[in-house]
């Protein structure tokens, strides 16, 4: 396994925007550095799936949402310390630590 430091991404996060409805899957765009997904659903969602991107080791995938998501599924890779929901106006950060493996960043 490769040990990485947060902030090794290449420049500002590439932004992606989506306005999903419940039950949909949003696929994050691949990139050569950090990537960012801003979810702006019209209302709270019962369920949503987000597929993580193919980014270099050491880069971060950010997921933000303006509404609550009751059941959030993160796929596309193994995720250490994943989540099952997200609150309105929250942001999640997932650092790619090895091929096919992300780890969620948790602020203390």
Kindly tell me if the per-residue pLDDT of 26 is higher than 50.
Answer: yes
Tokens of 68: 């609550």
Whether 53 contacts 61, CB under 8 Å: yes
**pLDDT-based confidence at residue 28 (cuts at 50, 70, 90):** very high
Digit-coded pLDDT (tens) for 37-91: 999 999 999 999 999 999 999 999 999 999 999 999 999 999 999 999 999 999 9
DSSP state at residue 26: E
**What pTM was computed for the model?**
0.88
pLDDT value for 12:
67
Asked whether residue 5 carries a pLDDT value surpassing 80, the answer given is no
Q: Which residue has the higher pLDDT, 13 or 23?
A: 23
- 83 and 90 Cβ atoms separated by less than 8 Å: no
């Amino acid at each position: 396994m490769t040990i990485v430091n947060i902030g090794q991404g290449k420049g500002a996060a590439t932004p992606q925007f989506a306005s999903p409805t419940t039950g949909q899957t949003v696929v994050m765009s691949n990139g050569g550095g950090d990537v960012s997904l801003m979810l702006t659903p019209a209302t709270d969602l019962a369920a949503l799936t987000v597929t993580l991107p193919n980014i270099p080791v050491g880069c971060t995938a950010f997921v933000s949402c303006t509404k609550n998501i009751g059941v959030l599924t993160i796929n596309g890779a193994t995720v250490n310390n994943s989540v099952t929901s997200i609150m309105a106006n929250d942001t999640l950060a997932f650092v790619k630590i090895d091929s096919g493996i992300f780890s969620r960043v948790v602020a203390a």
